[in-house]
Structure 1
Amino acid sequence: MKVLPRQRKAVLINSVLGVAVLAGAGGAYSAVTSHSDSSARADARTVTVAKGTVLATVSGSGSLSSPSDAGVNFTTGGKLTQVNVKPGDKVSRGQLLGKVDATAAKETLAQDEASLTAAQANLTKVQEGQPSTSTGSGSGSGGSSSRGSANTAPTPTPSPTVDPAQLAQAEAQLTQAQNAVDAAQRAVDGTTLRAPVAGTVASVSAKTGDTVSGTGGNSTAGGSGGGSASGSNSGSTSSGSSSALSGFVVLTNPSGMQVTANFSEADALKLKPGQAATVTLNAESGTVLNAKVLSVSSLPVSSGSGSGGGGGGGNSSGSAVQYAATLTITSPTSNLRTGLSASIQVVTGEASGALSVPTAAVSGTGANRTVTVVNDDGTTQRTPVTVGLEGDSADQILSGLSEGAKVQLASVSASGNGGFPSGAFPGGLGGGAGRTRGGGAGGAGGGFRTGGGGGGRG
């Protein structure tokens, strides 16, 4: 037997294998194509047009916070003489939390009060002035004379002479002294710390005998720890989580609990104050709270790059701008804690008692929407419809359909993909069509492409 050269033998084997692969692919194509029409009819699903509620929602994520949470400190610093609370204690508004040594503050107050008394006395002296020494002459020019009369004219009472410059100076000294007394009194009051709000003591940063700093009467959000937060008579400060609050005492209070959540720029444009929402705690997926939108920020909170595209398509970089919205929780909040993370879903549209069909039954965009109506005899007809609210999974139908009618849902194999399931050559990576909130996940890949196609209706 004649032996073929190794190179010619390899070429012959590769040629035979290539023919076999092409024959197999052709057979697969013929099998799929010949079956496409019957499978489209078999896979066609129908739904009945009915009345119900159509909801459109947007989603965001955030964490719980309470506007009643507060980090508080003494207005006047000094050595702690009393610490009246410990972590875990529940306190009422105005309850005593602690005291610092007030000796120096009281001495300053006494000195300033003495200066005020002296300033008041000085002002009184200046206001009295010096009495006048002038008297009447007993005769007048060209007038009648009282000479020889038995009665004499009365001596006028001297009027005080007030120096305007001295008066202004005395009044200014009095005002200055009064201001000093007021400041000294606030310093004395600031040696006693009381709860500005009711709540639970989360932390106490010092003990009796320690020295703490004071705020000098200035209220600062957050503080710097160990004695720099809000003064004893100042209001509460909120920061979104208890870990961001600091002070001699940190108080938490679930009353009036709120959640601040971030939403994509497209979803944020749909938000309005008063819209209903649900809040699901990430740590307790079974806990769903009711809420409503309070406000929506007009400034972005973050930006960066993100990836999108559907099916087998690649990633695309773009801006990921988000806007914050604040919602108040209307469900009971007694068991909630500041800082818990949550997922938020806001209802941006609702149509009750509306004719509706699943989103998958509607084709087209804008005013050019159609559905496939299935007649009693099994035949189908494309029918124009007017769509109202586009919900998350269903669309409101304003005209073109009646209750009880049957419509066809879109079928994957009957969606114009050239007879290939999922619109791709067998073994390819085509994607499926769909509509997602916020845009994104994609359309059908086609032909021999290995990547998926366009975005869904979003």
Structure 2
Amino acid sequence: MKRGIITVILIIVVLGGIAWVLNSNKKKNDAQTALVSEGSGAVSVRVAEVKKEPVDLDFSSNGTFAPKQELDFLSENAGRVTQIFVKEGDKVSRGQVLARIDAEIINTDKETAQAALDNAIRDEARYTSSFATGGVTQQQLDQAKLATRNARLRLQGAARRVSDANIKSPINGIVNKKYIEVGAFVTAMGTQLFELVDVSRLKLKVNVNESQVASLKTGGSVKIKSNVFPADDFTGKITFIAPKADATLNFPVEIEVENNHANTLKAGMYGTAVFQFPAQAPAIVIPRGSFVGSVSSNEIFVMENGKTARIRKVVAGRILGDRVEIIDGLKEGETAIISGQINLVDGSPVTAIK
């Protein structure tokens, strides 16, 4: 019985202590609140004086070089490879014979097609003569003429296959890979023969952001630098600007680069595109974070009389990295609030953080 009474007394003591601590903390908080209320109640913000600054549109972007032309050359005829005239690394010209396929069966098809055409021509001549004397009908003569035309087309196809037995390069370039050997059997439109690349001109593929892409146009000249050849200067021309951003919200851009006569640059190397623009007139610019919400809101806060926040409508211009050009709505000498505006409404008292 006594033990139970002691337990109850201990619980009462503990609860009383907790209540005392809570009450003490409340008094401290009330005191701090009262102290704040006795002050100005101003919101602390960061500010910047509005002034014109030089505008530099130059920027650079890294990318990799790719061949202007790259072709995986496939066989067009079935047969056995009898000769190969090039090796990996050889330069080739358009129309140059790279290899030859056994054309025995193909030549037989051509001879058969030629014989069929000769026979069709003779039949057409006989039908034409007979038609003149009334021996055959117009329909029979037309069928003979059609047979001649079909036979001529078959011969043309056979002749093309004979020509294709000589595997010719469709581009000027370099043999990057050779996939066949003498004696190998290739199938029609299926076996990979060679990989050809043209590196006389290269494509430098880079990505630019939304603020940078607005300053670019197709055909514009670009300076190209390579870390591997820092002493060499290369010049490129913009050939493609993506009309749509990719998944990273960047815009792919392709620059065609003139390689030097020694083909110094190689596909797969890294390169830097240096985009340079004419000097720009100084303009009023503010930090991008100064806008209420986002740049598209066209609203910022300015500090009036050193103590009051006023919302201001402005007209935003170019986005220059982490800064935004202001075309209208701000004047030099005014004070813009550049951070802390999330806690503001029009007319809020503010104090500038030194």
TM-score bracket relative to the smaller structure:
0.5 to 0.7
Residues 8 and 277 of structure 1: CA distance in aligned 2, closer, same or farther (over 3 Å): farther
Name the CA distance, whole Å, in 2 between partners of 1:292 and 1:35: 63
Residue identity opposite 2:322 in structure 1: S
- Which has a greater percent of helix? 2
What percent identity do the matched residue pairs reach? 16
Partner of 2:328: 399
Name the CA distance, whole Å, in 1 between partners of 2:71 and 2:301: 57
Q: 1:178 aligns with which of 145, 152, 166?
A: 152
Aligned-residue offset at 1:325? 6.6
Greater mean alpha carbon deviation, residues 174-183 or residues 198-207:
198-207
Partner of 1:353: 281
Aligned-residue offset at 1:336? 5.3
Name the CA distance, whole Å, in 2 between partners of 1:36 and 1:84: 90
Name the CA distance, whole Å, in 1 between partners of 2:28 and 2:86: 83
Residues 31 and 82 of structure 1: CA distance in aligned 2, closer, same or farther (over 3 Å): farther
Name the CA distance, whole Å, in 1 between partners of 2:224 and 2:40: 44
Partner of 1:199: 173
Residue identity opposite 2:22 in structure 1: G
Q: 2:315 aligns with which of 362, 383, 387?
A: 387
Residues 62 and 9 of structure 1: CA distance in aligned 2, closer, same or farther (over 3 Å): farther
Asked whether the 8 Å contact 1:360–1:409 carries over to 2, the reply is no
Partner of 2:255: 329
Partner of 1:46: 48
Residues 65 and 183 of structure 1: CA distance in aligned 2, closer, same or farther (over 3 Å): same
Name the CA distance, whole Å, in 1 between partners of 2:114 and 2:188: 23
Residues 184 and 411 of structure 1: CA distance in aligned 2, closer, same or farther (over 3 Å): closer
Name the CA distance, whole Å, in 2 between partners of 1:343 and 1:110: 58
Q: 1:250 aligns with which of 190, 195, 207?
A: 195
Q: Deviations over 1:369-414 (max 9, x none)?
A: 4552678xx6878584541425143333333444x53533424399
Aligned-residue offset at 1:104? 1.1
Q: 1:15 aligns with which of 11, 16, 19?
A: 19
Aligned-residue offset at 1:83? 2.7
- Residue segments in structure 2 that go unaligned for 5+ positions in a row: 231-235, 350-354
Partner of 1:296: 243
- Residue segments in structure 1 that go unaligned for 5+ positions in a row: 131-158, 216-223, 228-246, 302-320, 420-458
Asked whether the 8 Å contact 1:277–1:293 carries over to 2, the reply is no
Partner of 1:104: 105
Name the CA distance, whole Å, in 1 between partners of 2:75 and 2:114: 23
Residue identity opposite 1:257 in structure 2: K
Residue identity opposite 1:49 in structure 2: K
Name the CA distance, whole Å, in 1 between partners of 2:32 and 2:221: 51
Residue identity opposite 1:195 in structure 2: S
Higher relative contact order (CA 8 A, sep 6+): 2
Residue identity opposite 1:412 in structure 2: G
Residues 330 and 248 of structure 1: CA distance in aligned 2, closer, same or farther (over 3 Å): closer
Name the CA distance, whole Å, in 2 between partners of 1:208 and 1:53: 64
Aligned-residue offset at 1:175? 0.9
Residue identity opposite 1:212 in structure 2: V
Q: Deviations over 1:43-69 (max 9, x none)?
A: 7442442154386x9x9x998765621
Greater mean alpha carbon deviation, residues 159-168 or residues 199-208:
159-168
Asked whether the 8 Å contact 2:64–2:270 carries over to 1, the reply is yes
For the aligned residue pairs, the C-alpha RMSD in angstroms reads 5.4
SS of match in other structure, 1:187: helix
SS of match in other structure, 1:68: strand
Name the CA distance, whole Å, in 2 between partners of 1:33 and 1:203: 80
Residues 181 and 416 of structure 1: CA distance in aligned 2, closer, same or farther (over 3 Å): same
Aligned-residue offset at 1:249? 1.4
Asked whether the 8 Å contact 1:261–1:326 carries over to 2, the reply is yes
Asked whether the 8 Å contact 1:54–1:389 carries over to 2, the reply is no
Query: Matches of residues 101-250 of structure 1 in structure 2 within 5 Å?
Result: 101-129=102-130, 160-161=133-134, 163=136, 164-215=138-189, 227=191, 247-250=192-195
Q: Deviations over 1:306-359 (max 9, x none)?
A: xxxxxxxxxxxxxxx899976431445663536x89999x9xxx9943622213
Aligned-residue offset at 1:10? 3.0
Q: Deviations over 1:187-235 (max 9, x none)?
A: 11121212212333333322111111112xxxxxxxx6xx1xxxxxxxx
Partner of 1:155: none
